[in-house]
Chains A and B, each alone.
Chain A
Amino acid sequence: MNVLRLSWKNIISKPLPSLLSMLLLAVGLSTGIILKLTEHQLTENINNTGKDIKLVIGAKGSRLQLVLSSVFQIDNPTGNINYGFYSLLKRNKMIKEMIPVSMGDSYKRKRIVGTNHDYIRLFSGELKEGVLFEKPLEATIGSAVASELGLKVGADFVGGHGMEEVLHSHDEYKYKVVGVLERSGSVLDNLILTPVQTVWIMHAGHGHDSEYTLGGAKEEIHDVPELEEVLVDSLSQKHEVHNHEGHSHEHHEHAEVNLEELLANIDPKDREITAILFPNLSGNAKIGVLNNANNQPNMMAVDPAPEIALLKNKLTPFVSIIIAISWFITIIAMFSVFIGLLSSLRGRKYEIALMRVLGASKSKVLVSILFEGVILSVLGYLLCLVLSHSGMELIGNWMQNEYQYEFTGWIFLNSELTYLLVAIVIGLVSALIPAYKAYKTDISETLSK
């Protein structure tokens, strides 16, 4: 029977007060750890998602909303811009890469994004099975979409208009899953990706802006021949490929002819996208695009980095309040451990004297009480790990549903070890006065009572 074991026995002999102290400490520390886990994953997600996007062009509105919706896929779009502007910018030799994104539809709360293959490359997406989308109505889905909705290659589904709630279903056209992406830990995991033409087909008939200028000269967009050619080529080629894969020839021919006709009949004014993402854009090219877009009547260009920094600044007061609450709970926990030990010692005064009579030195008695504080706090820390990580997992599931980002409780940060130190210090500090009182116990006086 050593001192450590004696301390442990004293703790478990009073399970309820001990558990209360541990629980309070655990709740206080858990709040801090959950914040750390959230902050870490949020920062990682933001960095992974936004680091390569240097500029975003979208409809005029909130700059932050444009960044959140088109880069991070967590807000509603500010509106749409005409695809013609994208085509005009394509003629600019200084722009090496730009990616159209078209949003507005979803399937079971998973966003459908019209784009091209560059979008997948931007987030280092890789195919797990099937192929990348090529033709309208073909969809390549993220890993979370596949696992959560049970969609596989070959499956079809009907999308609906709306991001959170489907306002109306596009019953007339079915998406067909042609590929599933590997898990990438990026926005791709929760998206359904399809060519931008799919979005036009789904929304055929809703026309908007039409006038854009490039380099100051006004240009009215009536038609984009390049695009038509690419589209028709793509349709014909994929038609052949699908024949080789043994799909129903008759069915595809029928569907594709209809789509070709439909696409050809869509007024260029109605060919819209939500935003254009510019990876690796810098220097004069960036300034040029920025100025050009901002000169358009219903358009704006936004650099995501300052917007994200602004968002972080806006969140800082809330984070500070939560941190303050977590410390407040932790300090209450410290008092709880202190009061628990003190009242426990009052009842054990004779036991302390007895230990001294049996040969325990003053320092041994002091250490045994300090051990009690430390054991309680270490147990509180272990309980806090369980609470914080399972709590984070629950919050993560909710956040994933709400914001399409993957958050998990099953990661461990090195900074969590700091909380162990904090817990031990709390245990020691709260046990210090009771331990000193035990140290100073007058054995003779106590035994005489």
Chain B
Amino acid sequence: MVKVNGLTYNYSSEVQLKFPDFSLSKGEQALILGQSGCGKTTLLHLLSGLLKPNSGVIDVENENILNMSAARLDKFRGANIGIVFQTPHFIEALTVKENLTLTQTLAGKSKNVAKIKSLLLDLGVESKLNSKLNTLSVGEKQRVSIARALVNSPALILADEPTSALDDENCNAVLKLVREQAKKHNSTLLIVTHDNRLKDHFDKRIEL
């Protein structure tokens, strides 16, 4: 489902990042651990096609994303990869519902409000459907960002430090939600973090 081989990325002629090979099967959940500056976020951006590596192969859903045209890659990313960011960002002019329907339409999928409602219900923020983002708490925003990552039922969910800014209680709650939803949608989950609290929750760990 996700396969990485011989991946390198050069920030400059002196700084070259070399990433370990790994593969994840459909529905598998894994953790990528590493200290700050070791290239965790770079790897996540490479996996989602936001950066081009200097060498290597990245297969997602049996397709080498590095061979895709820019337009095809944009569509592919929208439809097959959901990303949860450390700090949830949204299009502030839109409501929760509009942010999620935009995610659907940008991925080339049809608007599905029933699915949005169901996701928000699962995440405990169903009452925020028509709320503006600036009226939500940080915790609520994080839940909505998880909903956004899942709304297109992606094959791969990438989470970038989703818990590093949270206390233990919220850390566990968010982790539980992400894992449960990924499992429910049969999506492969890859969490990139330096948060050692997550270490024991995953059988598969990749150290950078």
Interface residues of chain A, those whose CB is within 8 Å of chain B, are 1-2, 6, 9-10, 12-13, 348, 350-351, 354-362, 364, 443-444, 447-448
Contacts and interface: CB of A to CB of B under 8 A. Distances in A.
A357 B111 CA distance: 18
A356 B90 CA distance: 12
Given A1-B105, A357-B83, A447 B93 contact: no
A358 B90 CA distance: 11
A358 B85 contact: no
29 contacts: A1-B101, A1-B105, A6-B91, A6-B102, A10-B91, A12-B93, A348-B91, A350-B89, A351-B90, A355-B106, A356-B74, A357-B50, A357-B77, A358-B103, A359-B74, A359-B78, A359-B79, A359-B106, A359-B107, A361-B71, A361-B74, A362-B70, A443-B50, A444-B42, A444-B50, A444-B51, A447-B41, A447-B50, A448-B45
Interface in B103-137: 103, 105-108, 111
Given A358-B102, A360-B106, A448 B77 contact: no
A434 to B, nearest CB: 16
Interface in B61-115: 70-71, 74-75, 77-79, 83, 85, 89-94, 98, 101-103, 105-108, 111
Nearest to B107: A359
A79 B48 CA distance: 90
Contacts of A356: 50, 74
Contact of B45 (A10, A361, A447): A447
Given A1-B105, A6-B94, A444-B50, A354 B45 contact: no
B157 to A, nearest CB: 13
Could you tell me the dominant secondary structure of chain B's interface residues? helix
Contact of A351 (B41, B79, B89, B107): B89
Contacts, number: 76
Given A362-B70, A447-B45, A355 B91 contact: yes
Given A1-B98, A9-B93, A351-B92, 11 more contacts: A1-B94, A1-B111, A9-B91, A351-B90, A357-B77, A359-B78, A360-B106, A361-B74, A443-B45, A443-B50, A448-B45
Most B CB contacts (10 A, CB to CB) among A12, A13, A359, A444 go to A359
B70 A361 contact: yes
Contacts of B74: 356, 359-362
A360 B78 CA distance: 8
A354 B50 CA distance: 11
A9 B90 contact: no
Contacts of A364: 106
A354 B90 contact: yes
Nearest to B94: A9
Contacts of A355: 91, 102, 106
Interface of B: 41-42, 45, 48, 50-51, 70-71, 74-75, 77-79, 83, 85, 89-94, 98, 101-103, 105-108, 111, 148
A173 B93 CA distance: 74
B93 A448 contact: no
A364 B91 CA distance: 15
A351 B148 CA distance: 14
Nearest to B108: A359
Nearest to B41: A448
A358 B93 contact: no
A432 to B, nearest CB: 21
A6 to B, nearest CB: 7
Contacts of B42: 444
User: Shortest 8 CB-CB distances between A and B: which pairs?
Assistant: A359-B78, A13-B93, A359-B106, A1-B102, A9-B93, A359-B107, A444-B50, A444-B45
B66 to A, nearest CB: 15
Contacts of A361: 70-71, 74-75
B38 to A, nearest CB: 14
B65 to A, nearest CB: 13
Contact of B91 (A354, A447, A448): A354
Most A CB contacts (10 A, CB to CB) among B75, B89, B102 go to B102
Most A CB contacts (10 A, CB to CB) among B50, B77, B90 go to B50
B109 to A, nearest CB: 9
A358 B45 CA distance: 13
A391 to B, nearest CB: 33
A356 to B, nearest CB: 7
Most A CB contacts (10 A, CB to CB) among B51, B90, B91, B105 go to B91
A146 B161 CA distance: 82
B200 to A, nearest CB: 28
A215 B92 CA distance: 89
Contacts of A350: 89
A400 to B, nearest CB: 46
B91 A351 contact: yes
A444 B9 CA distance: 13
